[in-house]
Chains A and B, each alone.
Chain A
C-alpha cells in the first residue's frame, strides 16, 4: 500500500475535477462522487498506516527541476507521523463529506461545495505526503486557496467575503516567513529534502544562527496557519463558512498544518533552544489567551473557534517542551473531538437556525443523538477522566513540567480550567434548562448527519487509549529510530491536578448555568420554604460571578483590546502605509505629460546626485 500512497491525495483531486466539469448535471448526487473518492483515500491511508506499522519509512522521489548543480525533487513519503496524519485527515474529510450531504441539502451551489471540499482535501493530503519543504510549501499555499473558497462560500454575505479575504491574506503574512525560512535553509543545506536537512543538522553543517533564524521564520508560517497569537484573528472570522467547513478546517486540515509542519521539522527545532522556547511560549500564551476570550462569547461557533485556537496553543506548547509525542497525540485526539463538536454544533444550528447560545436551551430532550454526542465531545475537550482529551492533555502537562517550564505549566493548568468551564457553559446553555426563545419544529438531524457524529463520538472516547500512562503504543511507534521520548514519566500528581481542575471547571459551569436553571424549577414547585437557603446558594453564584468570572472577563476584555487595537491596528497600519504610498503615487499621476517628464528628469537627477556624492561607490 505504501508505494501507492501517492494516490491518496489524488482521489479528492479527481473528485474536484469531476465535480467541476459535471457537477451541474449531477446536482446533489455530487455528494456520492465526493464521498466515494474520499472513502478510497481513507482505505488507502489505512492500508499505508497498517503497512507502516511493521515496515520502515517508504520514500520515492523524482527530479523535477535542475538549477545549476542542485536537483529539486518531487515525490512522496510515508513515515510514522504522516501515515497517522493521512488517516486522520482522510477520515475526518470523509465524515465531513458525508455529513455535508445532509447539512448542505437544498443549497443551489451544492456541487460547487463538494468540488471545493475535494480541492481542499487534496491540498491537505498532498501537504502531508510531501517529502520536501518546497512541495510542502506548494500544497501549503493550495490549502490557503481552498480555505479561501470554502470560507467565502456564502459569498452573498458581506462578512463571509471579508472573512475569506482576511483568512487568505493573514495566513499569507505567515507564509512570507515560511518562504524566507525555507530558502535560508535551502541555501545552507542546498536541498529542500527533509532527509538532507536533518542529515546536515546532525553533522553540524548548519550554523546556529541560520538554524535558529530559519526555525523561527518557519514557525511564523505555522503561526499564521495554526492561528497562533498574533496571527489568529482570521480563525474566528472564518466561522462565516458553512459549518462542515469549520469542522474540516478547524479539526484535521488547515489549522493542523502548522502543528504538523513544526512536528515534521522537529529535529530542526530540537537543535535550537531559542526556537524551542519561542514555540513553547507562543503556544502557552495562545492557549490561555484564546481560552479566556472563549469565556464570554455567545456565538456557538465562535466559542468553538476560540477553543480551537487555544487547543492549538496546547499542541505548540507540547512541541516546544520537547513533547513531540504529546503534541502529535493531542493533534490526533483534538481532530476527532473538535470535528465532533463542530458537526454537533452544526446539527444544533441546523435545528434551531440561530448561532446565539443565549437563544438556545432545553435541547437535550429534543435532540436525542446530538446532545449526548456533544456531551462526549465536551467531556473529551475538558479533559474529563478516561476520555481521549484527558490522556493527551495530561501528556502535554507532563511535558511542560518535566521540561522545566513551570510558568507555562501553571498557565496550561489555568487554561484547562477555563476550557472545562466555557465548554460546559456552552453545553448547559444549549442543552440544559428550557428553551429561551420559541423555536418550533426543533428536530433531530437526518441520519446522514448523525452517523458521522457517532463515528467521531466513539473515536473521541477511545482514541486516547493508544497512549496512556500504562502503555505508550503510539509514542513508541512514532519515536522508533529516534532518541525522542516515547513517553515522559511525570509525577503522578499532575494527572490528579488536571482531573481536579477539569472537574472544578465543570462544577462551576454547572453551578452558574446548569444549577440555576434547575433551581428555578425546583424552587417554584416543591420547596418554597427553603428559599433563603437557596438564596444563599445564589450568593455563591454571585460570589463566583463577582470574583472568578469578573477577573476572567477582565482578562479576556484586556486581551480582546490587545487583539482589537494592537494586532488589528498593526495590520491596518501596514495596509494604510500601502494605500498611502499608492495615494502619493497616483497624485503624481495627474495626466499631465509635463509631470511625467519632470518626474523622470528629477529621478535621474537624484541618481546622478547620489552618484556624485558617493563618488560612484555605494
Chain B
C-alpha cells in the first residue's frame, strides 16, 4: 500500500474514532506531566467533552452512504452508526458518574481510569465498524484489556483484585474459545474479510462442510457470550460487579455488553445468515435453536439466582445476565425487525441501568455498604430519587409506560411473528419476567415501606443528578413515545445495508 492509496481513503468516516483516540492520547500525556497532587477531575471533564464531540461528529455522518475503507476492514454502515451512538451515549453518562465517584480509600490512578476508559470505548467502536475478523478481534481485545485494568483500578482493594483476576482468567478462556472457532472459519475460506467469507460460504454448499461450520459457530458463539455475560459464560459477572467500582460496573453492564452484541451480530449474522443449509433457508436458522437454548438458560439462571442476592450489585449483575437473555431471544427468533428490536432494547437498557447504578452509587457510597437494606426509607430521605429509582426498576421489570416495556414487547412480538413461532422461548421470557418482579420489588419495598434507619442527608452531586434526570427522561419518553427513537433509525431502511 503506497502513500497515494492511503491518502485516497475517506478518513472522515473514522472521525468519531479519531477524536476518542486523540483525547485518550492527550489525556495520558497530560496525566504524565500533571503534578501528582492535582485533582484529576479536569481530565474527566476533558474525556467527557471528547465523547460528546465524537458523538456530534457521528451525527454529522448519520446520513452518509455506506463507506468502506482500508481494504474493507473498516466500514461505516447503518449498523455501525446506530450502535456507535449507543456506545457513546452510554459512555458519556458513565463518565459523568465517574466524575463524582469518591470512595473511602482514595484512588491513586484516576488519570489512568479516564484514558483506559476511552481506549475501552475505542475498542468497542472499532468493533461496530469492523469488516474483518482481525480488526474485530483487535477491537475486542482492546476493550477487554482496558476493562481488566478498569476493574482493578482500586489497587489496594482485595475484592477488586480478586475480581480483576477472575475477569482476566475467564476472559482469556473466552478469547481462546472464540479464536478457536474463528480459526475454523478462516481455515475454511482462507480469508479473514467478513464479506469475502460470507460470499464464499454462500456460493458453496457441501453436506460435510456443514458439520465443521456448525462447530465453528458453536465455539464462536459460546466464546462471545462472555462479553454478553450470557450463559454459559455469565459466572464472572456477579464477582466482578461486586469487586469493581460502580462506574466501571455500569460501563461493563451497558457499554461492554452492547459491544458484545455488536460483535455477535457482526460475526454470527454476517457470516451465517447467507450460508445455505440442508434443512432451512440458512445456517443461522438451522442453528437458531442453540441460541434459543442459551437464551432460555440465561433468562432462567439470571432471574432465579437474583432472587437469592442481598448485595444490590450482585443482584443487578444477575439482572444484567437476565437482560442479555431477553436480547438473545430477539437474536434467536430472527424476525425481520431483529436489529431494531435489539437496538431499542439496548437503548432502553442503557437508560434504566445507568440510572439505577447512579442512584446505587450515591447510596452505597454514603453507607459504605451494598446490602439491599441501604435503600431503607429512601422515599423519606430523598423522595425524588426514590421515585426515579422506582421508574428505573419498573422499566427493568418491563411495566408498561416505560422504555423497558416497549423493548420487551418488541422482542416478544418478534418471537411470535416468525414461522414457526417461539412459544416456549416467549413463555420462558414471560415467566422469568414475573419472577424478576420479586427481586426488583424487594428494593421497592425497602425504599417505600421500610422505616428510615439512617437520618443523614444524602449528598447528590450535580453530575449524578444530571445522569438521573437524563435517564428518567429517556426511560419515560421512550416508554410513552417510542417513535422518537425509531425516527433516528428511519434513514437506515431496516438496516438493509448490513449484508451488502
B437 touching A616 by the CB < 8 A rule?
A: no
Q: Give the residue of A68, A155, A579 whose beta carbon is less than 8 angstroms from that of B304.
A: A579
Does B232 sit within 8 A of A, measured CB to CB?
Answer: yes
Contacts of A586 in B (CB 8 A): 305, 308
Given contacts A180-B430, A616-B210, contact A582 B410 (CB under 8 A): no
In the bound complex, CA of A175 to CA of B441 (Å): 17
Does A168 sit within 8 A of B, measured CB to CB?
Answer: yes
Does A447 sit within 8 A of B, measured CB to CB?
Answer: no
B441 touching A616 by the CB < 8 A rule?
A: no
Q: Mark A138-158, 1 if CB is under 8 A from B, else 0.
A: 100110010001001001100
B219's closest neighbor in chain A, by CB? A604
In the bound complex, CA of A149 to CA of B447 (Å): 12
Report B380 CB to chain A, min CB distance, Å. Answer: 10
Query: B395-426: which have CB < 8 Å to A?
Result: 399-401, 405-406, 410, 412-413, 416-417, 426
A600 touching B483 by the CB < 8 A rule?
A: no
A604 touching B222 by the CB < 8 A rule?
A: yes
Contacts of B498 in A (CB 8 A): none
Does A173 sit within 8 A of B, measured CB to CB?
Answer: yes
Q: Give the residue of B231, B236, B239, B486 whose beta carbon is less than 8 angstroms from that of A603.
A: B231
B415's closest neighbor in chain A, by CB? A183
A578 touching B304 by the CB < 8 A rule?
A: yes
Interface residues on B, range: 35 or more
Q: Mark B430-456, 1 if CB is under 8 A from A, else 0.
A: 110011011001000100111100000
Given contacts A187-B417, A585-B301, A591-B239, contact A604 B286 (CB under 8 A): no
Does A557 sit within 8 A of B, measured CB to CB?
Answer: no
Q: Give the residue of B173, B238, B406, B448 whose beta carbon is less than 8 angstroms from that of A597.
A: B173
In the bound complex, CA of A469 to CA of B211 (Å): 76
List the one stretch of B17-25, B163-171, B251-259 in contact with chain A: B163-171
Contacts of B466 in A (CB 8 A): none
A600 touching B290 by the CB < 8 A rule?
A: no
Does A137 sit within 8 A of B, measured CB to CB?
Answer: yes
Contacts of B210 in A (CB 8 A): 616
B480's closest neighbor in chain A, by CB? A64
A67 touching B215 by the CB < 8 A rule?
A: no
B483 touching A179 by the CB < 8 A rule?
A: no
Contacts of B45 in A (CB 8 A): none
Query: A597-618: which have CB < 8 Å to B?
Result: 597, 599-604, 607-608, 610-611, 616-618
A144's closest neighbor in chain B, by CB? B399
Given contacts A145-B399, A582-B305, A616-B210, contact A607 B222 (CB under 8 A): yes
B451's closest neighbor in chain A, by CB? A156
Does A368 sit within 8 A of B, measured CB to CB?
Answer: no
A593 touching B449 by the CB < 8 A rule?
A: no
A187's closest neighbor in chain B, by CB? B416
A138's closest neighbor in chain B, by CB? B400
A588's closest neighbor in chain B, by CB? B235
B238 touching A589 by the CB < 8 A rule?
A: yes
A168 touching B173 by the CB < 8 A rule?
A: no
Does A169 sit within 8 A of B, measured CB to CB?
Answer: yes
Report A294 CB to chain B, min CB distance, Å. Answer: 30
In the bound complex, CA of A137 to CA of B398 (Å): 13
Contacts of B394 in A (CB 8 A): 145
Report A312 CB to chain B, min CB distance, Å. Answer: 23
Given contacts A64-B483, A604-B222, contact A579 B166 (CB under 8 A): no
Interface centre among A583, A588, A607 (most CB of B within 10 A): A607
In the bound complex, CA of A597 to CA of B399 (Å): 36
Contacts of B337 in A (CB 8 A): 67-68
In the bound complex, CA of A316 to CA of B449 (Å): 35
A-B contact pairs, 19 of them (CB 8 A): A169-B438, A172-B437, A176-B430, A180-B426, A180-B430, A187-B417, A581-B301, A582-B307, A586-B308, A596-B235, A597-B170, A600-B232, A602-B232, A603-B231, A607-B222, A608-B218, A611-B215, A617-B278, A617-B286
B residues adjacent to A (C-beta < 8 A): 165-166, 169-170, 173-174, 177, 210-211, 214-215, 218-219, 222, 231-233, 235-236, 238-239, 278-279, 286-287, 289-290, 293, 300-301, 303-308, 336-337, 387, 394, 399-401, 405-406, 410, 412-413, 416-417, 426-427, 430-431, 434-435, 437-438, 441, 445, 448-451, 481-483, 486
Closest 10 CB pairs of A and B: A603-B232, A155-B449, A582-B304, A138-B400, A596-B235, A618-B289, A585-B305, A581-B304, A141-B400, A593-B166
A residues adjacent to B (C-beta < 8 A): 20, 64-68, 137-138, 141-142, 145, 149, 152, 155-156, 161, 164-165, 168-169, 172-173, 176, 179-180, 183-184, 186-187, 578-579, 581-583, 585-586, 588-589, 591, 593, 595-597, 599-604, 607-608, 610-611, 616-618
Question: Assuming A581-B300, A616-B211, what are 14 further A-B pairs, CB within 8 angstroms?
Answer: A64-B481, A141-B401, A142-B400, A145-B399, A156-B451, A168-B437, A183-B413, A579-B307, A582-B307, A593-B236, A600-B174, A603-B232, A608-B215, A608-B218
